[in-house]
Structure formats: C-alpha cells, structure tokens
Amino acid sequence: MPMVAFALALAVTWLVTPLAIRIARRTGFIDRPAGYKGHEAPTPYLGGSAIMAGVLVAAVALGGAGDGRWVLIVGAAALWILGTADDKLNTSPLLRVVAEAAVATALFLTGNGWHIDAGIIDYLLTVAWVIGVVNAVNLMDNMDGTAASVAGASAAGAGALAFVAGDTGLAVLCLAVAGACVGFLPHNLARPSRIFMGDGGSMPLGLLVAGTAMAASANTSVGAGAVVVGALLLGLALLDTTLVTFSRRVGGRPLLTGARDHLTHRLRTRLGTSRAVAAFLGTTQLMLCGSAIVLQQIGFGAVLTAGILAALLGGLTIVRLNRWPWFDRRNGSRLGPEHRRERKTVLGRPRPATDSARA
C-alpha cells in the first residue's frame, strides 16, 4: 500500500503541474528575476499546489489520514494557503511564524508532537521543531530541485522507519509526500525550470516532513534519542539553515536577507549544475535516513553516539564550507550587493583580492 501511495501521488502531481503552470501564468503567480535570484526568465509559482494535490489524493484515498494524522494534513493545507498568499502578496514573516506555531500547538494537543518529557518541554520542543523544519525546507528552496529532493528523501526515510515499525498508515502518508516530490521534479528540473514550488509548496512540505519525522521517530524504542533520529531524517535541511545562520552572523549580514550562501550554492561550485546538486543532496539524505533506521534498531547508545558525532561533523563542515573557495565565484556578477561585499571576508577576516581568481 505505501508504494501504491507513492505511485499515485507521483502521477497526480506530474499530471496536475502543467495545469498549475497555466493557472499561475493567467493569475500572475510569477517569480521575476531580481537581485540575487539566478533564473533568467519569469517563472510560474503554484508548484506547491500540484504537490499538495498529489499528497491529498494519495493520503486520503489510501488511509494516510487516519489515526489522528488528519490534523497534520489540515495544518499542511493551512500553510499551503498562507504560503500561496505569500507568493503573491509578500506576507509578514511574523504572521508566518505565528501560523506555524499555531499548527505546532494543534499537533501537540492532538498527540502528534514530541512526547519525550511528558511536560512543557515536549510542547516547546514541538513548536521549535515545526518552526525550525518548516523554515529549513523553505530556505532549502533556493535552487531548482533541491527542496523537493531533500524533502522527498526525508519523507521516504520516515516512511521506511514507519513501515519497519508496522505503522502502515503513517508509511502511506510519508510515501505520498515522497511521491509528490518526485512527480514535481521533472517540471522543476527542466531547462529552464518550468515552475517553482514557492512558499505555497515549501511551507506545507516542511510541515509534512516535520510531522511525519516526529511520528516515525516516536515508533522507536530509544526514548529521548528519538529526537536524534528525527534530526537525522531531516539532516541536510537543518545543516543548511545552520550554515546560513552562522555564515551571515559571522559576515555581519542580516539573517533575513536572501543571498547565494546556501549549502546548494557552495556545492554547485564543485558539482556544476543544479541537477547534480539535487541528486547529490537527495542521495546523501537517503543515506542519512538509512543510518537513522539502523541506529535506532541498535539502541539508545548508538543513537546518542551518532548524534554527537553528527553534531561535530556538522560543525566542522559548516566552518569548512564558510571558507572562500566554496563560494559561487563563477557567477559573481549576478550576486546581490550584500553577497559581493562578503567575497572579501571569510569568518570575519579580510581576504586578499587574489582569492577571486583561485581555482
């Protein structure tokens, strides 16, 4: 049944996306090149609508909305509406955070949040987790194919973990999310991209992977280590957010200012194309998900040790990626002014001008 959900969501999303493109063009849901954005022509939004269509059809038809998980689906629909409005109207960041916190509260009150400490800590952890993951996936949507690849891999990993635990309904929902992401990729990774998912896709997708990761991790027997399992299921999205936060603070740049300083942009300096970056990130996230499944079967000690090692490795990776050779020097003329200024600064220290010519 989970694989049927995957196939159904894939097919629905793939078929609905051309319709979303036509509607976006007629209604003005268009992302126009400006500032740090790299695409050359106006590109339709509403990819999130096609993704949501795939998820809803597969999940509802095949039992993925049972056992109280309808709350997660309703919450995702609410964030889809808000995110779609943001794509058109540029809503307030505060409004989005408040909405995410409200959905997180609903998840917690209906038993769909973290349940580690059985107290206020669980509630605060659930709210922080939902807000953090939703915005991490939103930030990951900065290059064609990357958000869908990483979120799809995370959802597939959560689905595999749920299936191992015997939770078929959760596995159906997870594989529906993964299938919808795969169905969206051919349109998003076309040359040039035919459609973007926009906030109307990244926000509900972030909530769905946040919620399914919590639910799948709750099926494990590693106690508080379930949070580590969940973090591994979403490792690359969390790494990207931490990297961007660190890089902008060290460089003295506003946290909410867009720029080409994400994990994706740094990888592209080595991998060359957005397709290669998406494939690399998706494959790496699948490997992280596989390790999470194996580790939770070994026990709490293995999960805790892996969590400590992952945190150390993540920290070293962030420091390494924040060095100059990993910036997108080949497209320097198309970077925003705030990013061009950062070209002369690494970890807060001046760098010689010759760095711009380094291979």
Token pair for 76: 């995702």
Q: Residue 79 in contact with residue 180, Cβ under 8 Å?
A: no
Instruction: Output 264 or 337, whichever has higher pLDDT.
Output: 264
pLDDT higher than threshold 50 for residue 40: yes
Neighbours of 123 (CB within 10 A): 16
Tell me what the pLDDT averaged over the chain comes to. 85
Residues 6+ apart with CB under 8 A from 167: 215, 216, 219
pTM of the model: 0.86
Which of residues 337 and 165 earns the better pLDDT score?
A: 165
Residue 131: the pLDDT is: 96
The token pair at 341 is 């200024």
Report the amino acid identity of residue 218.
A
Q: Name the DSSP class of 112.
A: -
Residue 352 confidence (pLDDT): 32
How many Cβ atoms sit within 10 Å of the Cβ of residue 295? 23
| pLDDT given at position 356 | 27
Mean pLDDT across the stretch 146-168? 95
Backbone φ and ψ for 30, nearest 5 degrees, come out as -125, 135
pLDDT at residue 358 is higher than 60: no
| Amino acid identity at 209 | V
CA 262 to chain centre: 13
- Only one residue has tokens 């060359």, namely 272
Give the pLDDT score at 304: 93
Summarize pLDDT for 1-37 with one digit per residue, the tens: 889 999 999 999 999 999 999 999 999 888 887 655 5
**Lowest mean pLDDT across 63-72, 130-139, 211-220, 245-254:** 245-254
pLDDT tens digits for range 47-97: 999 999 999 999 999 998 888 899 999 999 999 999 999 988 888 889 999
For residue 108, the model assigns a pLDDT of 95
Give start and end residues of each alpha helix (H) in 37-113: 47-61, 70-89, 93-109
- pLDDT score of 223: 86
DSSP secondary structure of 5-40: HHHHHHHHHHHHHHHHHHHHHHHT-EE---TT---S
Domain boundaries, the chain: 2-350
CA dist 344 → 24, 332, 349, 353 (Å): 40, 12, 8, 7
- Residue 117 has a pLDDT of 78
Cβ atoms of 157 and 217 within 8 Å: the answer is no
The DSSP call for residue 66 is T
Residue of 288 and 65 predicted with greater confidence: 288
Backbone dihedral angles phi then psi of residue 346, each to the nearest 5 degrees: -135, 125
CA distances from 314 to 237, 243, 317, 318 (A): 12, 9, 5, 6
| For range 40-46, the mean pLDDT | 84
Residue appearing with tokens 């580790």: 295
- Residue 236's SS3 state is helix
Residue found by looking up tokens 């509607």 in the block: 23
Least confident of 265-274, 287-296, 322-331: 322-331
pLDDT at 272: 83
What does the pLDDT average to over 102-126? 92
Q: Is 43 helix (H, G, I), strand (E, B) or coil?
A: strand
Are the C-beta atoms of 83 and 203 separated by less than 8 Å?
Answer: yes
